[in-house]
Amino acid sequence: MCVIVTGGAGFIGSNFVLDWLAASDEKVVTLDALTYAGNLENLASLQGDARHVFVAGSIGDGELVARLLDEHQPRAVINFAAESHVDRSIHGPEDFIQTNIVGTFRLLEAVRAYFGKLPADRQAAFRFLHVSTDEVYGSLEKDAPAFNENNRYEPNSPYSASKAASDHLVRAYDHTYGLPVLTTNCSNNYGPYHFPEKLIPLVIHNALAGKSLPIYGDGMQIRDWLYVKDHCAAIRRVLEAGRLGETYNVGGWNEKANIEVVNTLCSILDELSPRQDGESYRTQITYVKDRPGHDRRYAIDASKLERELGWRPLETFETGIRKTVQWYLDNQSWVANVTSGAYREWLGKQYGA
C-alpha cells in the first residue's frame, strides 16, 4: 500500500507527510518541485526512513508523474502542489497559471490514465484528493454567513482564480471520466514549517530580528485561522470516509482580524522571548499600503465535515498560536536557512522595507 503526496515539501504538505508517517506505516512518495517554498529540510527527520521516498519534480511533468504512478501503484494521490501566495500572484501571475491550472491538468491526465488500467477492486478503492482554499469563494461582508460548500465561486486574485480553475478541473474529471475525486477547501493555515512570507511567520521572524511588522491597510481584514495539524487530520478523515465527488470545507472556527493576530503574537513573544530593552514588540508595528484587491473577510462553515465525518479542530487559536510561536523560537536555524537573499529581496519589493 502506498500514497503519493504532491507538494509534500511545502508547508501543509510536509506537515501532512510527517503526521501520516507518525500514525501509519503506509509508504509515502513525496513529489515536490522545490520552488522557493518547498524545503527538503521540512522532511529531514525522515532521512533514511524506508517508508518515505522523495522525488524532485513538478506535477506539470506528465511523464514523470506517470512513471511514479506505474512504479509505486498508489491507492491515493493527495494534491497539495500549488503556488499559494496572493502577493506573489499579483506580481507574477503566470507561475500560478502554469502550476495551479496547467500542472493540475497534467496531473489529472496522468492519474486518469493510471486509474483506467487498474482492476475493478483497486479502482473502487482509489482516491484523488485535491487540496484547495477558501479564497475561491471571494470576500465576505462583515455580517454575512460563513462560506459553505454551496457558495458561488468569486475569486478576486490571480492566485484564487487559478485555484478555482483547478477545482473545476477536478470536478470535471469526476463527472466526465469517473475519476474518484474529493476536494477540500481550507481557511488560513498556521503552524510549523510555514514559509515566512505569510502573516504569522513573517511577524515572528521580523519581531525577533528587530524589524518592522508590516500590516496592510488598517489591519482589519478578517481571516479564519486553522492550525495545520488539525487540517492534516481533516484531510486524512476525508480521504478515509468522504463521499466521492464531494467538497468539504475545513475551517478552524477562529475568525480574527489581522491586527488582532499580530497583537496576540506580540504578547506571546513579550512573554516567551522579551526584548532586551523591555519594550513590547508592538512598538515595531508599521502600517503599509494595502495590496490591490485585498479581500476583506473570509470565514469557513465546516459543519458539513463535522456532521458527515465527525471532524472538529482540536486546537483553539489560543493553544495553536502559542505552539506555533514556541516552534519558531525552538527552530530559529530552520528560519535562518529559508530566509535567503532571494527572500530578503522579495520582502523589499513587497513591503518597501
159 is catalytic: yes
- Active-site residue, from 83, 87, 114, 159: 159
* SS3 labels along the chain: CEEEEECCCCHHHHHHHHHHHHHCCCEEEEEECCCCCCCHHHHHHHCCCCCEEEEECCCCCHHHHHHHHHHHCCCEEEECCCCCCHHHHHHCHHHHHHHHHHHHHHHHHHHHHHHHHCCHHHHHHCEEEEEEEHHHHCCCCCCCCCECCCCCCCCCCHHHHHHHHHHHHHHHHHHHHCCCEEEEEECEEECCCCCCCCHHHHHHHHHHCCCCEEEECCCCCEEEEEEHHHHHHHHHHHHHHCCCCCEEEECCCCEEEHHHHHHHHHHHHHHHCCCCCCCCHHHHEEEECCCCCCCCECCECCHHHHHHHCCCCCCCHHHHHHHHHHHHHHCHHHHHHHCCHHHHHHHHHHHCC
- Active-site residue, from 83, 87, 135, 301: 135
137 is catalytic: no
Pairing of the two strands 222-227 and 255-257: antiparallel
- Active-site residue, from 32, 134, 197, 255: 134
95 is catalytic: no
Catalytic residues: 134-135, 159
